[in-house]
Amino acid sequence: MSVQTITEETLFELLDTYPKDRRYALPAMQDMQKQFGYVPREGLEALAEHLECPLSGMYSIATFYKAISLEPKGKHIIKVCDGTACHVRGSVNLIDSIDRTLGIGPGETTKDGEFSLELVNCLGACALAPVMVVDDIYHSKVTPDTLPGILEETT
């Protein structure tokens, strides 16, 4: 994922593509996240100003949706499924192994900014459980033993 530097100019360019209507708040946040890797505070402030609504309203929207992040994400996003099939087949062990290997738990990013870990309810690949997605690449039947190889391939 290639992210752009946050500047006033890039924010205004992005927001100028949207009408001044509050119903465009979420799509604008999604575009910010795509462009910057997260929704920065200055982005929420600029959006609130653009839509002429309170900043608290923008925070309400941003914090309601789990897909919106107010914190920078790592260069590589790891998503571990913890749905029923994956949970039963050992996703908890996989999460523990990621914590031991990278020093991060769900919702955290490594200090070097390389990896972020997200826990998801379902990745829609129950027959392949436990499933882990790294940078949109699915890995099936992942175990603590196969995890280091997957992470090594990623960097």
Express each pLDDT in 103-113 by its tens digit.
999 989 999 98
Residues in Cβ contact with 88 at an 8 Å cutoff, skipping those fewer than 6 apart: 129
CATH 3.30.56.10 correct for 76-154? no
Express each pLDDT in 105-135 by its tens digit.
998 999 998 999 999 999 999 999 999 999 9
DSSP state of 95: H
Helices (H), the chain: 8-15, 25-36, 41-51, 55-64, 84-88, 91-102, 147-154
Domain boundaries, the chain: 8-64, 76-154
Compute mean pLDDT per 10 residues along the chain, 155 residues long, and list them. 73 93 95 91 95 96 90 92 95 96 94 93 93 94 95 88
Per-residue pLDDT, 2: 53
Per-residue pLDDT, 1: 47
CA 107 to chain centre: 8
- Whole-model pTM: value is 0.74
Name which of 63, 60, 76, 72 is nearest 22 in CA terms.
Answer: 60
Task: Check if the beta carbon of residue 5 is closer than 8 Å to that of residue 39.
Answer: no
Q: For the chain, what's the residue count? A: 155
In the numeric block, the tokens 């290997």 are attached to 101
Task: Check if the beta carbon of residue 15 is closer than 8 Å to that of residue 27.
Answer: no
Q: Please name every residue paired with 115 in a beta bridge, in sequence order, or none if there are none.
A: 76
